Each structure stands twice: as C-alpha cells, then as structure tokens.
Amino acid sequence: MLNTIFSSVFTETTAAFTFGQFLACTAVSLILGLLIAAVYRYKSECTKSFAVTLVLMPVIVQMVIMLVNRNLGTGVAVAGAGAFSLVRFRSAPGSAKEISSIFLAMAVGLATGMGFLGTAAAFAIIVEAVWFILVQTNFGEKKEKEKELRITIPESLDYTSVFDDIFARYLTRCELVQVKTTNMGSLFKLEYRIVFREEGEEKNMIDQLRCRNGNLEILCSRAQTGREEL
C-alpha cells in the first residue's frame, strides 16, 4: 500500500503523459503551494506578491520538469539555475526564512513534476509541521532581552569610565558599540548594547545617567536585530 502511494504516477517510460496525469500533478502542486504559503504567513510578515509566488512556484517547477521529459538534471538546470540567478541579481536579498520557503516550494515542484505526488505531500506536511512547531517555541531566540542605550555627553567627560559604577549597579552586560562626535565636536554620542539585571529599572538608571551627563539626551530602546539574509 505504501509503495503504491509513494510511487510515481507516470508508469510509462515514454516522455508523453496523459491529461489526467497532468491535472493530478497540477492539483497536488497547487494544494501544497497553498499549504506552504499559509504556514509561511503564520507569525510572519508577508506581502501578497510573495504569498502568490509560493503558491504558484511548485506548479511552475512541475511544468518545467514535465516538459523536459522528467529529466531532473535538465529540469534543475533550467528551473533552478535560471530562476535563482534572476532572484540573486534582480531583487533585494531575502531573509533566511524566505529563501528556505522558496527552496521548499521548488522541491515540491520537482517531486510532483516527477509524478511522486504522495512523496511530495508527505515531505511538505512533515517540513511544515516542523516549521510550525519551531515557530511556536522559543527555538533560536536570544534568552537575554538586549536593549540599546544612547547617551549624549559633553566633551569634558571621559566616556570610557564615566558611567561604570551606574552600569555595574543596574546591568549584567554592557558593550560600547559606537562613539560619534556632534555639534562641532563639543558633544559625544555613545551607543551601548545592554542587558538589565531586573526589569523595570530603566527609569532609575536613566535618572542617575542624567545627573552624570548634564541632563543631555538619553535614549533607551529595544535593540534592533539585523535582518537575516542569505
């Protein structure tokens, strides 16, 4: 029974395929494309154009494979190298999640193009289930709640140690990542990456920093995470 499910619908060795086989492969490709797009949209920002692309990519790749006589080498060369070269040089870099979803849609199209409909469905369901579980959990997330602290000080203060005692009292980690001069060199703008010992201590620390920097500008915000690109 399982061998029948995971075998190819193309029983003949000839290049021709029937209209029924074409409809079956196309239907499975579209359904799995919809599944990939739906799971990708869960807890992710997604444009309509990208969602439509995920839906249509499996059926497009499937058609290419079928038209090259189900030859994987030729099909991958045409659909893979050509398509991803265009993506690489004609569009902005995508996030790791976007690239992985595109590869998943392409793999499903390759499987359906070869007629392995059961294999394509099982593969897509397993990968999407694992994806859903990982998104639901805290897998890969930073345990520390890192924040960004920006302080403006007059040039008369030595920024290398002026706030050390305050940071030691309120922070478990503090890293000076950038120093910038402003106002014709009369002011320094310091940027830190920090982690608080306890939540809710921002105001107390900022009040002490204001006394130390002459009540100049101070900004404490959530640290900006870089876009994960491939």
Q: What is the percent of the chain with per-residue pLDDT over 70, rounded to a whole number?
A: 78
**pTM for the whole structure:** 0.64
Summarize pLDDT for 52-71 with one digit per residue, the tens.
Answer: 989 999 998 888 888 876 66
Domain boundary among 91, 109, 136: 136
Domain boundary among 105, 136, 167: 136
Tokens of 11: 């029983």
Residues 171 and 131 in one domain: no
pLDDT for the residue numbered 72: 61
Residues 38 and 115 in one domain: yes
Rounded Cα gap, residues 66 and 98, in angstroms: 26
Q: What is the mean pLDDT of residues 176-180?
A: 93
| Segments forming the whole domain that contains residue 188 | 147-222
Domain boundary among 136, 170, 190: 136
Residues 77 and 156 in one domain: no
Residue 141 lies in a domain: no
Residues 44 and 90 in one domain: yes
Q: CB within 8 A of 5, min separation 6: which ones?
A: 118
Sequential DSSP letters for 172-226: EEEEEEEEEEETTTTEEEEEEEEEESSTT-HHHHHHHHHHHTTS--EEEEEPPPP
Q: Do 188 and 159 meet the contact criterion of CB atoms below 8 Å apart? A: yes
Q: CB within 8 A of 84, min separation 6: which ones?
A: none
Residues 185 and 209 in one domain: yes
